[in-house]
Amino acid sequence: MIVSFASSKGGVGKSTTCAAIAAKLTQNGERVLVLDLDLNQTVARWAKKANLPGLEALALAPEDFTRVFREKVGGFDHVLIDLAGTREATLLKAMARSDLVIIPAQASEPDLCEALVIIDDIRDVVEAGAKGVQYRLLLTKLFPLPTRVTMFAHREIARHKMLRFATGLVERAQYREMFLTGKAPTLAEPNGKAAREIIALCDEIEAIVSDKTSAGRAA
């Protein structure tokens, strides 16, 4: 499967989510390629520390994306694309090639407004001819207990009919520590709360992509 992580702003947990999912997929014995287009190259640096069998992470300039994608994609079970936190042409190229676009966002008005921008971009890509591109909003850096801001976010998501994951990522130390130690939550604390979140999220991702593949075959 090909999954892109997209946001037109930084600080939403995009690279953290990408890295944690990459680690979980490699734990399953699958070959994972991460194309890191983020200017900070966070996932590429983490991957060097993690040194996981089956994982390859490449830091790319936007102009190299199409060439590297064509050369490398066939050798892996999954391709994860960590896009830059800006809107530019590579974002559209990556989304057009994706089975699923994950849009991380905090439960805040600014983040949800930016998520709507990305959703509009996905609709444009589909209208231009890309088939079967799906998206899901992922709420990140959540407080453990419901707050007025969280309630507002859920109302806005419902009002705009945004598709979202049932799983959300709570603000936890394990997500920050993985970039210090190289150990993602599912490796550092396999039975911890962060690990359970990532496992549940991966289950949802695989179900969405599987449903898309089944629908394509039926068509």
Q: Per the structure block, which two tokens stand in for 151?
A: 């309630």
Q: Are 16 and 175 in contact (CB under 8 A)?
A: yes
| In contact, 82 and 62? CB cutoff 8 Å | no
How much is the pLDDT for 215? 55
- pLDDT value for 8: 83
Q: Per-residue pLDDT for the chain (219 aa), expressed as one digit of tens each?
A: 999 999 988 889 999 999 999 999 999 999 999 999 998 999 999 999 999 999 999 999 999 999 999 999 999 999 999 998 877 788 899 999 999 999 999 999 999 999 999 999 999 999 988 888 999 999 999 998 888 999 999 999 999 999 999 999 999 999 999 999 999 999 999 999 999 999 999 999 999 998 766 555 444
- CA distances 69 to 79, 95, 120, 126, Å, are 9, 13, 24, 20
- For 4-60, the pLDDT digits (tens) are 999 988 889 999 999 999 999 999 999 999 999 998 999 999 999 999 999 999 999
Helix (H) or strand (E) holding 139: strand 134-140
Quote the pLDDT of residue 218: 40
Measured distance CA(5)–CA(160) in Å, rounded: 20
**What pLDDT sits at residue 88?**
79
pLDDT at residue 85, as a whole number? 81
